[in-house]
Structure 1
Amino acid sequence: MRDVEPMPYDRYLPWKRWVENGFWLAMIGGNCIANSLVTLMDLRRRGSAIPAWEPVLWEASSALMWLLLILPGLAWFTARYPFQWGRGGRQLLRYLGASVAVCLVHVAGMVALRALVYARLGMDYDFGPWPRELFYEYLKDVRSFAYIVLTMEAYRALLRRWQGEASLLSEPDEGPALEPVERPERFLVRKLGREFLVAAADIEWLQASGNYVNLRVRGHDYPLRSTLAAIEAKLDPERFVRIHRSYLVNLLQVASIEPLDSGDARVHLRDATVLPCSRRYRAALRARGGVEPG
């Protein structure tokens, strides 16, 4: 029997972390080198005899803090609160507040690093008047912050398209619906320009992820723009049960429940996947047919 050739997205997965980390290392590292050279050239043009290591230290300390923020700080933030066009007000305030927090951590960290190196060399580092310099740094940092957010969101959008993005079937323009959209039996998945249907019964489990819910089907995740509560209301309650604020599971996939001393539990699935079960939902899962070891 001929093996099924893995899809491009599946072949990319083992390299995903290396590519992501390598991209930011290359971008920030390259920017650090370029800025160091430009700063040193500007100083030399003005007749400054400052040692070359000083502008290199300034840029390297800044770059190091950006790497520490991006990996994993900003990656977590943008995944937890995805940026969406047309969503003003609350989202704008959240991102504005995040940009200020990023700037404060960035500046405090790089100044501390510079001061430490200068002190080791028996020198003093003068950052300058804090209000003025902090405002100057924020004007630079907010642009970097926006670039990082847009880059991460564009990358995630590309991955969703490559991986396959699910959507609910909607009412047709003409004629009756093939199935009730209030409780769909299938989901429409778009993947690399192709469309196919995924049966709701084939979903093994669902996980909330920011403004998306990942549908796990035969080892693949298909993101669906929705909330977990909204999807739970549309799925068959006889088949799917909530086990955690971020997880729903197909009861037919549950092999056993492992109780924990904390009152929570681990749900073991037939494919050896282990999902968390909070104490709030554990009793309901047992009542619905989950099996705990004796």
Structure 2
Amino acid sequence: MSEQADVEYRDFQRWGRSVEVAFWVALAILNTVFNGIVAQIDHSRTAAWEPWVWESSSSLLVLLLIPFIQVVERRWPFRFDTWRHSLPRHLLASLAFSLMHVAGMVELRKLAYALVGWHYRFGAWWPNFGYEYLKDIRNYFLIIALICLSRLWLLRKQGEATLLAEPDEGVPVEPVDRPERFLVRKLGKEFLLAAREIEWLQAAGNYVNLHVRGRDYPLRATMAGIEERLDPARFVRVHRSYLVNLDYLAEIEPLDTGDARLHLRDGAKIPCSRRYRAALREHAGQPATVE
């Protein structure tokens, strides 16, 4: 593993959200500028400001709707192994995206025109919406493609874990139902990650993130599925979205709500639901208390 790659990934983790927002804003601005110039050439007889109102209102609504697309993509990931299942849902989502986009930009244009004492007319709704939808479905899947490409880049930098597969011939080197190691692929290289080194696990959509020494390795699995395959004497469910390795648990902080906050040795703080708190105390060697 390259030390430079690790530094780049840590920098991305620190500034990732800001970089993501800046990227979408810059893309929207560039799209507005280029489309505005073209629209001004195509509609030379209109007032000079009108094409810019059209394009900026459209770009602003697309920008505001990107979180909607991200939520849909997280719910139905668009990948090589799932695209047949995801495509019908994304087509429906693209229709909803287009309806919100067109309705929102029309209202913005009406407002802009009203400010100068003019009246904006969108025209007949359905013929014009059909035209807009042809553009919107292209934009929708372009945004999906950019999201998927960014995820692939992130996985290459971050590394992605998989369970060791049972060999085609011979006896497995270790039990596949209770793995002692996970295979991690990162930047074209593979290495083994000991299960006992996993400090905590967190559910994230269709993945479970394995947290090891400040890094997260996504594993394609459900929380319930991976819980069954980990050593129950070491790994304890503390929340519907979290599993904790007791070897790395430093402190259990009770909360007034009956829940708890777990302090791990790496400084992380993990929520512990009330329903899991008694079981955690027993695993940690503390007597369960009735609350």
Q: Secondary structure at the match of 1:238?
A: coil
Q: Secondary structure at the match of 2:183?
A: strand
Structure 1, 167-176 or 148-157: larger mean CA deviation: 167-176
Q: Which residue in 1 is equivalent to 2:47? A: 51
Residue from 60, 63, 68 that aligns with 1:64: 60
1:58 partner letter: W
Q: Secondary structure at the match of 1:286?
A: helix
Conserved in 2, the CA contact under 8 Å of 1:79 and 1:209?
A: no
Q: For residues 286 and 64 of structure 2, what CA distance do their matches in structure 1 show? A: 44
Conserved in 2, the CA contact under 8 Å of 1:183 and 1:236?
A: yes
Is 1:40 the equivalent of 2:40?
A: yes
Measured against aligned partners, the alpha-carbon deviations of 1:142-188 in whole angstroms (never above 9, x if no partner) come to: 11001101110111011111111111111223332111111010111
Deviation at 1:16, TM superposition (A): 2.6
Q: Secondary structure at the match of 1:27?
A: helix
List gaps (5 residues or longer) in structure 2.
Answer: none
Q: Which residue in 2 is equivalent to 1:140? A: 135
Q: Secondary structure at the match of 2:182?
A: strand
Q: Which residue in 2 is equivalent to 1:110? A: 105
The TM-score normalised by the length of structure 2 is 0.90
Alpha-carbon distance change, 172 to 90 in structure 1, aligned in 2, over 3 angstroms: closer
Residue from 261, 264, 268 that aligns with 1:266: 261
Alpha-carbon distance change, 89 to 8 in structure 1, aligned in 2, over 3 angstroms: closer
**Residue correspondences, number:** 285
Measured against aligned partners, the alpha-carbon deviations of 1:51-101 in whole angstroms (never above 9, x if no partner) come to: 11111011001111111112x332333234321234366523321222122
Residue from 253, 269, 274 that aligns with 2:248: 253
Q: Secondary structure at the match of 1:213?
A: strand
Q: Secondary structure at the match of 1:157?
A: helix
Q: Secondary structure at the match of 1:243?
A: strand
2:205 partner letter: G
Residue from 171, 176, 181 that aligns with 2:176: 181
Measured against aligned partners, the alpha-carbon deviations of 1:239-282 in whole angstroms (never above 9, x if no partner) come to: 11112222111122222333334443322222221112223322
Deviation at 1:103, TM superposition (A): 1.3
Conserved in 2, the CA contact under 8 Å of 1:257 and 1:291?
A: no
Q: Which residue in 2 is equivalent to 1:230? A: 225
Q: For residues 270 and 43 of structure 1, what CA distance do their matches in structure 2 show? A: 64
List gaps (5 residues or longer) in structure 1.
Answer: none
Is 1:277 the equivalent of 2:276?
A: no
Q: Which residue in 1 is equivalent to 2:114? A: 119
Conserved in 1, the CA contact under 8 Å of 2:253 and 2:263?
A: yes
Residue from 153, 162, 171 that aligns with 1:158: 153
Matched-pair identity in %? 55
Q: For residues 133 and 281 of structure 1, what CA distance do their matches in structure 2 show? A: 55
Aligned CA RMSD, in angstroms, stands at 2.2
Structure 1, 85-94 or 275-284: larger mean CA deviation: 85-94
Q: For residues 76 and 243 of structure 1, what CA distance do their matches in structure 2 show? A: 26
Structure 1, 162-171 or 22-31: larger mean CA deviation: 22-31
Q: Secondary structure at the match of 1:162?
A: helix
The TM-score normalised by the length of structure 1 is 0.89
Conserved in 1, the CA contact under 8 Å of 2:262 and 2:270?
A: yes
2:62 partner letter: W
1:21 partner letter: V
Q: For residues 219 and 225 of structure 1, what CA distance do their matches in structure 2 show? A: 20
Q: Secondary structure at the match of 1:170?
A: coil
Give every structure 1 segment of 4 or more consecutive aligned residues whose post-TM-superposition deviation is greater than 6 Å.
none
1:124 partner letter: H
Is 1:98 the equivalent of 2:97?
A: no
Q: For residues 218 and 103 of structure 2, what CA distance do their matches in structure 1 show? A: 38
Q: Secondary structure at the match of 2:43?
A: helix
Q: For residues 67 and 291 of structure 1, what CA distance do their matches in structure 2 show? A: 51
Is 1:8 the equivalent of 2:8?
A: yes
Conserved in 2, the CA contact under 8 Å of 1:243 and 1:276?
A: yes
